[in-house]
Structure 1
Amino acid sequence: MAIEELDGMNGAVYSIRSIQSSKKITIAYTGKDPVTGELKTQDNTVEGPLMVFITTTQVDIDGETASRFVFISIDESEEMTKKILTKQRQSQTMEGMINKLKAGQIIKKHQNANRLLKPLCVFNHYADLLTFTSKSLRARRDHTKYLNLILAIAYLFQYQRKSRTIAAKPLNTSASLWTISKRPTELPMKFLAGPWTS
């Protein structure tokens, strides 16, 4: 779910928080019984998990909402502004117009690449070596987000690593799995070290 501005989810904040934390949300509403015609309370359950992407220019965000998201800030340097202005000018040229036409093909290629990803169990044997700040209660949520981000990055590398299959005899099931290399463990720290190590 993509929400362009944080203000756009004002009426749905509670629902989005709930489905992120509980992986589902149940809403009770009053409706007519189709048999008796009497008004009855009925439950409607929406199953998650739900991926939510929000953009905002706000600096101060409600703590309960903020603790459920990973924050990625934009580069606000003058150097980056110069690059953006150059790109904007280039977009008005013939080459820029051609690149706009190619954009759809590039997006389609990325979507097709995502469809090639197979369901795999990923485990991190570096997990016990990782450290994380324990100075605030929020660390309990942020730590899980940090670990899951490592697994997500590793999952995307599945065609660049060897996987193996193990059998879970008591459950009579099997699963393909592979081990995280050092690189996926380093990536979250490289890009997101600020908010999670201070």
Structure 2
Amino acid sequence: MSCNVGEVLTVFMMTMLGWDILAPVQLLWINLVTDTLPAIALGVEPVEDGVMKRKPRGKKSNFFSGGVASSIIYQGILESVLVLGAYLIGLKIGPHVNNPVMQHGDGLTMAFLTLGLIQLFHAFNSKYIHQSIFRKETFVNKWFNWAILISALVMACVELPFMTRFFDVTELNGQQWSVVLGAGVCMIIIVEIVKFFERKVGKE
């Protein structure tokens, strides 16, 4: 849900700011890649350690209780900020800095790939609401690991020469790809920092 919030905010902000907007086929491709294999694999995720030691949920609790709602909101906003940041950086770097038309294409391509891949990075965050993902249990689910790898390759295949025209994207260079992947890493790091402080507050 946080990923969907991020998508909506990204398109909304691009529209409000008068920027170029991601094409429908690009958004459909992102949803196809991120909402199939990773989502199914999360369904067979092993039970988190210590779950039976927690206090039972109250009668009035719901899906959004226990910090889920606030996590969805801030993580969706964070995702949107990182994607919009990648778009702006894409307008300033790359081989087409002297060609405004191609440079806008680079920016949109970076936003497109960032929005898709960042959701796959964020899928690891979604395994635990408050606990850190830097533990061996995070990678126990082999189905999930394969799902993320396959989905990432499928997402990146739009950069193949015969696919770029269909998805209306440009071919990115190494510097541009480093920004796209860096945004995904930032998503994990920032969420981990927030979780750390949440745990500290909870202990106090």
**Is the shorter-chain TM-score for this pair beyond 0.5, marking a shared fold?**
no
Q: Which has the higher helix share?
A: 2
Higher relative contact order (CA 8 A, sep 6+): 2
